[in-house]
Amino acid sequence: MNDLSLHAAWLRTLPPSCGPVRLIAVDGHAGSGKSTLAARLAAVLDGAPILHLDDLATHEEPFDWTDRLRDQVVEPLSHGDRAHYEPYDWTARSFGPPRSLEPAPVVLVEGVGAGRRALRPFLAHLLWMDLPAAESWERGRRRDGPALTAFWDDWTAAERAHFSADPSRPSADVLVRQLPVGYEWLKGSGATAGVNHSVTHRDHFAPPY
């Protein structure tokens, strides 16, 4: 069993937070490695569903997706029902055909603002990818190339405004720091009693960059 499996096993023991679902948020700055961590966690959680918040955000409303998340995802999951949401197509600039999200024992919500104030009451755990904003954004810009420079300029301004008004890191249960190989999990300010033993290990996956 690798260490990430140990963390996954801990997440499975948490009380359900949204109906029968343990909703786990993976938050952090754009470019910090949230998607990679969520994918690796999902793999050791027997294919746990992942909701990418990029599918709810839009060019015009990068952070004004709370109502869509509540109505399309949180409300049905809280009743043990399958959720349906319409993913945004960033090329066509329109919403696409509905996708379903099963009320699995663990569901991961990944994206900038996943730990926002409005969502926290429904979260079983909040993970924060602990990479500084400037370093995260630089990685994202390198990944996406110069063609998206204008997009990144607009995005970073919107992200600064969001986290200034609604910071996630102070409420995180776990701070996840990427190492040359794997991750280090550290207790966050929002951690509840009993979390200590789950944040002292390291996993051994190769980093995404």
Give me the torsion for CA of 4, 166, 60, 108, rounded to 10°. Answer: 20
For 3, the token pair is 């260490």
Per the listing, tokens 């995802």 go with 73
Q: For residue 187, count CB atoms less than 10 angstroms from its CB and return exposed for 0-12, middle for 13-18, buried for 19 or more.
A: middle
- What's the pLDDT band for 192 if we cut at 50, 70, 90? low
The whole-number average pLDDT for the span 30-34 is: 96
Burial 128-160 (b: 16+ CB within 10 A, else e): bbbbebeebbebbbeeeeeeeeeebeebbebbe
Q: What average pLDDT does this structure show over 169-194?
A: 85
Q: What is the pLDDT of residue 54?
A: 95
* Residue pLDDT, tens place only, 94-141: 999 999 999 999 999 999 999 999 999 999 999 999 999 999 999 999
Whether the per-residue pLDDT at 204 is higher than 60: the answer is no
Do 139 and 209 touch, CB atoms closer than 8 A? Answer: yes
**Mean pLDDT score across all residues of the chain:** 89
Average pLDDT over residues 7-28: 96
What pLDDT does residue 190 have?
84
Angle 180-182-184 (CA atoms, 0-180°, nearest 5)?
100
The mean pLDDT value for 17-26 works out to 98
Is the separation of the CB atoms in 109 and 119 below 8 Å?
yes
What is the value of pTM for the model shown? 0.89
Q: Which residues contact 194 (CB under 8 A, 6 or more apart)?
A: none
Summarize pLDDT for 33-90 with one digit per residue, the tens: 999 999 999 999 999 999 999 999 999 999 999 999 999 999 999 999 999 999 999 9
CA torsion angle 93 95 100 105 (round to 10):
60
Q: Is the pLDDT of residue 180 over 80?
A: yes
Residue 5 confidence (pLDDT) above 90: no
Residue 205 pLDDT > 80: no
Q: How far apart are CA 138 and CA 151, in angstroms?
A: 13
Amino acid at 202: R
